[in-house]
Each structure stands twice: as C-alpha cells, then as structure tokens.
Amino acid sequence: MTEPLFCVENLRVSYPGSNDWAVDDVSFALNRGEKLGLIGESGCGKSTIGRAAMRLLSPTSRLAGKIKYKGESVFDFNPTQLRQFRGEVVALVFQDPMTRLDPLMTIGEHCIETLRAHQPQLSRSQAKNKAIETLEKVKIPVNRWGQYPHEFSGGMRQRVAIALALLLNPKAIVADEPTTSLDVTVASEILQELTRLCDEHEMALLLISHDLAMVGEYCDRIAVMYRGKIVETGSIKSIFHDPQHEYTQSLLKAALHLHGEETEGLLGTRDQKQTPLLKVKALKQHYTLEGNLLEQWFSKEKKVIKAVDEIDFELFPGEILGLVGESGCGKSTLSRTILQLIRPTSGIVEFQGEDLTQLSSEQMRQKRRHIQMVFQDPHACLNPLMTIGESIADPLFIHQLATASEAKVRVEKMLKRVGLTPVEDYYYRYPSDLSGGQQQRVAIARALITQPQLIICDEPVSMLDASVQSQVLELMLELKQEFNLTYLFITHDLWVARFLCDRIAVMNAGKIVEIGETEQIFTNPQHPYTQKLLGAAPMLFQ
C-alpha cells in the first residue's frame, strides 16, 4: 500500500492560558493527489490543524501527537528543513489574505521575493515571467503587477494569496477558507484550477471550509470536526447521503435550508411603499490612475477606473435588497459611497428624501446613527485594544444614546441576541480571543446597537459555517420585523441571497446589469452575466 503523503496522528493542541484542547486527538491521512475537505463550525479547531501542520502556532502552545511528512515528524524539523517544507512541500492559503501580504510591497515584489527565496538561481526576469503566468491563472492581469494590497478588493487580495501558494508547485496545499471573499465564478475557476493541479501533479489538497456544497463538488473525502474532534469521516457520497453523527446531520439540514427554494414564512411580504427609504441616482465613483512621472508627462489622457458607474436603484422601507457580483465589481465601493465614507464623483444618494452628498461631515456623522454597516472583515470595526463589551457599546456613546449603566444592559441583551453566550464570558474578552465567526457576530451586534433604520451588510455571514449562517440570518430577519429594519445585503453567495432577499441587483464592472424579484432572477435570468453567476454556483446535490 502506498504511504500517505501527509499523516496526522493523535494530534492535540492547546493555546497559551487555556487548559482545554482546541484540537483533541485528531488523526487523518492525506494521500498524493487526494482532495480532503475539513468541515466544521467556526472555533472547532479546523484552522488550528492547518497552522499546526505548518508549525505556525505560538511556541508556548501545548502540542501532543505527530504530524508526519514522508515518515518524518514535522515537529522535529530544523530551521532549514522547516523553511524548505513551507512553500515547497506544503503551502498554506490563509482565510485572511492580509496575514500573508505586506502592505508596503507591491504584488509583483511579493511574487519575486517568494520565488527567489526558494529558487535563488532564477533571474529577476525569469521570476517575473513565472509569477505573471501564475497570477493569470487566478485572473489577475499583468497591469496590476505594480499595485499594492490596499488597491485590491478583498477578493482580489485572496487571489494574490492563492497565486503565492501556487508559485512553488507544492506537493500539498492547505487552503483555509480560500474562497470566502470570492464570488462564485472566480471561486469556481480557482477551485477548478487547484483541483486540476492536484490531478496533473498528484498534489494533495486539504480544503478547510464551512461551505458544504463547495467541499462536495471539489473534494474526494470529507472530515467533519466538532469541538476539537473529528466526529465523522468518509467519502462525499456516504457523508452527504447517510450522515451518522448528529452534528453532521444538523450541518446538512442547515445547508439544505439555505439552499432550499422555498422561503415562505421567513421573508413575508415586502412593504410596497411609494416613497423609498434610499434612492440612488446616476451615482459614479471614478478613480484616476496618475502613473509615474514619465507616464504623466507623455500621456495625453489619464487612465480612469470606473468603480461605480451610473448606478440607479431604490430601496423601500422593510425591504431586503441583495447586491451580488464578482469581487472587484464595485459592490463594496458602492456601499461606502452610499455611507459617504468616500465622496462620490457625481450622482445623488437620497436617504429619507435628503441628499447625503450635500451634507457636511458633521451632519453625515449624526446621520450614521440611522445607517449602520456590517463590514466583510470584522477587524474593520473592532478595536483590538477594546473589550467586546466596549466595542459594542461604543456607538451608543458616540451618538450619546445611553449612560454607562444603560449601555451595559443593552450590550448584554445584544450579545444574547447574536448568540454569544454566556454573556459574562464574552463581555470582557478581546477580539483576538474569538474565532473569525464570533468576531463577525460581535460586528453585527455593534451595528444593531443604535437601532438604525438601514443596515448595509457587506458579506456579513461569509465567514460562518452553514448552521451559524442560518442562525444569524434568521436573527437578522427577526430583528428586521422587530425594529422595522431595511437591509442592503451585499454577498457573493447566491444561496444566501436567495434565502434572505426580496429583490436582487446583479452588479458587473461597476454597473447594475439586472435587477428584479429574487425568484425571477433565479428562475429566469435575462443578462448573460447573471446566467454565468448562477451556472457557477455549487449545489449540495448534483
């Protein structure tokens, strides 16, 4: 029998200051060319396994068991062996691409540094040619070679991180939620490329994800984690059609709930009022690329990026409008322009009949009590030096809505509403103490605490597993009814959009190419791009 490429034996991991095992007696093998999906809720230990495999955990973490490559323990590698192991043997794609990207380096320099660190014999031009070829595989054009990470959308940054992992043609890739921030078309293309490389080069893939449909489509086997343990493992077909463990059964039930076509009883009837709460007219957000001094001197016309281009739509009170489209299409830029976090090039944004583009900074600051945002990355609104309780209470103090004692009561209530219980356990913790999914729930609580009328949600559940996604989405629906909220819901997950939204607007290259009732978009899409999006979306059962 062929020896496994990678073998985890009775692995236990405990973080500093904790007496509990984050990973508890986990064993599995990964063979050459095999694609194994590791599924489980946020905080269950999935990412810890990936970091343990690369020896990226804190030196003060407690470790037991073994991780073997070709029969040798990774924990016994010396610094030279470990450096070679990372990248050339196993490459890790992080959930958050900014953990891999230096904000002071261009994308091109990232690639060249990675290649020449492991292959010093390459000339700079050879390294650049190889890097450009790899970047093209993940749909990053060569004209973005000299740009910095902050000039890329979240999804585009993740494509760069995946390209960096592929540069050295590793024998295995540990991909930790690699497509969380990507739209379905790009995610499909990247996963097809990853799985093609697995087949062609016998490269193994450990795909850590909360997306059951994606794992089902691209993996051979699945391992289900719950509270630090692997509770069930087997082929995709056996797990999907005959799950044995009750947690696996609950995951599948929640995923099917989100993928189901019927949402009656969840959404209710949209409030068709004549006066929209939000009205966007001819909105533009254009950026001029200055280039270097020579380009500015010789170029007759300046290059313009039309991030948002002539956008028109209306959003009615009590409605949920979904905004879907690929990463880099302008969705997040549109949301920030509506909030006046960035001022538009031109156009009108009316909220309750008032044009926000004409308000002063102070007037807009006061208006934001009524318009809140849930960002894609919870770190965008959570101060690492503030406790969870302080972070959620902060908007109440900014808008002078509560005393300290009143704020504490409201924060405790909100923590319960978003499922962070026991409250006393979370109130005094810091963001770094929480998993990614838990951090996002804190961000949602922070946005809801001022009881706004409009909430702009930028991928608010993209980091959560199916069961928690379902819980949070239903919580948002409950809060919508209770406080008469209106949502502009930005997502690349078409099934989440179908589950939650009354109408859907499809965005591509800065424009809304199609808008209509949710079922109309799904059952009778008119625009070729909408058809392409729907065709790329993974299904639980093919």
Nearby residues of 217 by Cβ (< 8 Å), 6 or more positions away: 191, 538, 539, 542
CA distances from 138 to 67, 115, 332 (A): 30, 17, 21
Cα torsion angle, 68, 71, 75, 81, sign: negative
Contact between 512 and 506 under an 8 Å Cβ cutoff? The reply is: yes
At residue 20, the pLDDT reads 87
Last residue of one domain, picked from the residues 259, 288, 316: 259
Report yes or no on 163 lying in a domain.
Answer: yes
At residue 262, the pLDDT reads 43
Q: 71 and 220 share a domain?
A: yes
Q: Which residue has the tokens 């629906």?
A: 477
Last residue of one domain, picked from the residues 221, 238, 259: 259
Q: 204 and 61 share a domain?
A: yes
For residue 122, the surrounding DSSP H or E stretch is none
297: helix, coil or strand? helix
Give me the tens of pLDDT residue by residue for the chain, a chain 542 residues long.
568 888 999 999 998 888 889 999 999 999 988 999 999 887 788 889 988 988 888 888 999 999 998 888 999 999 888 888 888 889 888 777 777 899 999 999 999 999 988 889 999 999 999 999 999 888 888 989 999 998 887 778 888 988 898 898 899 999 888 877 677 777 787 788 788 878 888 889 999 988 888 899 999 999 999 999 999 999 999 999 999 999 999 888 888 877 764 443 344 444 454 699 999 999 999 988 665 555 556 666 677 888 899 999 999 999 999 999 877 788 889 999 999 999 999 999 999 999 999 999 999 988 999 999 988 778 778 999 999 999 999 999 999 999 999 999 999 999 998 888 889 889 999 998 887 678 888 998 999 899 899 999 988 887 677 777 787 788 788 888 888 899 999 988 888 899 899 999 999 989 999 999 999 999 999 999 999 888 888 776 55
CA distances from 421 to 413, 426, 468 (A): 10, 7, 14
300: helix, coil or strand? coil
For residue 431, the surrounding DSSP H or E stretch is none
Last residue of one domain, picked from the residues 394, 428, 449: 449
Contact between 296 and 363 under an 8 Å Cβ cutoff? The reply is: no
At residue 513, the pLDDT reads 95
449: helix, coil or strand? coil
At residue 298, the pLDDT reads 61
Which residues, listed in sequence order, are joined to residue 38 by a DSSP beta bridge?
208, 223
Number of domains in the chain: 2
At residue 258, the pLDDT reads 73
Contact between 42 and 441 under an 8 Å Cβ cutoff? The reply is: no
At residue 268, the pLDDT reads 42
How far from the centroid of its chain's Cα atoms is residue 440's Cα?
10
Q: Which domain holds residue 137?
A: 6-259
Nearest Cα neighbor of 475 from 409, 539, 417 is 417
d(C-alpha 338, C-alpha 345), whole Å:
12
Nearby residues of 203 by Cβ (< 8 Å), 6 or more positions away: 32, 33, 169, 170, 171, 172, 173, 197
Q: 82 and 229 share a domain?
A: yes
372: helix, coil or strand? strand
d(C-alpha 384, C-alpha 419), whole Å:
21
Contact between 142 and 79 under an 8 Å Cβ cutoff? The reply is: no
Q: Compute the radius of gyration of the chain from its Cα atoms.
A: 24
Q: How many CB atoms lie within 10 A of CB 330?
A: 25
Q: Which residue has the tokens 């043997």?
A: 89
**Tokens linked to 81:** 């062996």
Report yes or no on 152 lying in a domain.
Answer: yes
Report yes or no on 231 lying in a domain.
Answer: yes
139: left (phi over 0), alpha (psi -120 to 50) or beta: left
Report yes or no on 255 lying in a domain.
Answer: yes
Contact between 529 and 508 under an 8 Å Cβ cutoff? The reply is: yes
Q: How many CB atoms lie within 10 A of CB 119?
A: 14
Contact between 191 and 218 under an 8 Å Cβ cutoff? The reply is: yes
At residue 157, the pLDDT reads 86
How far from the centroid of its chain's Cα atoms is residue 515's Cα?
24
The CATH number of the domain holding residue 241 is 3.40.50.300
Report yes or no on 533 lying in a domain.
Answer: no
Please give the angle made by the CA atoms of 440, 444 and 447, to the nearest 5 degrees: 135
**Tokens linked to 45:** 């230990």
d(C-alpha 128, C-alpha 106), whole Å:
13
How do strand 23-30 and strand 6-14 relate by DSSP bridges?
A: antiparallel
**Tokens linked to 365:** 């600051």
- 422 upstream amide cis, omega within 30 of 0: yes
Report yes or no on 410 lying in a domain.
Answer: yes
How far from the centroid of its chain's Cα atoms is residue 199's Cα?
27
Report yes or no on 534 lying in a domain.
Answer: no
Q: 248 and 389 share a domain?
A: no
Report yes or no on 179 lying in a domain.
Answer: yes
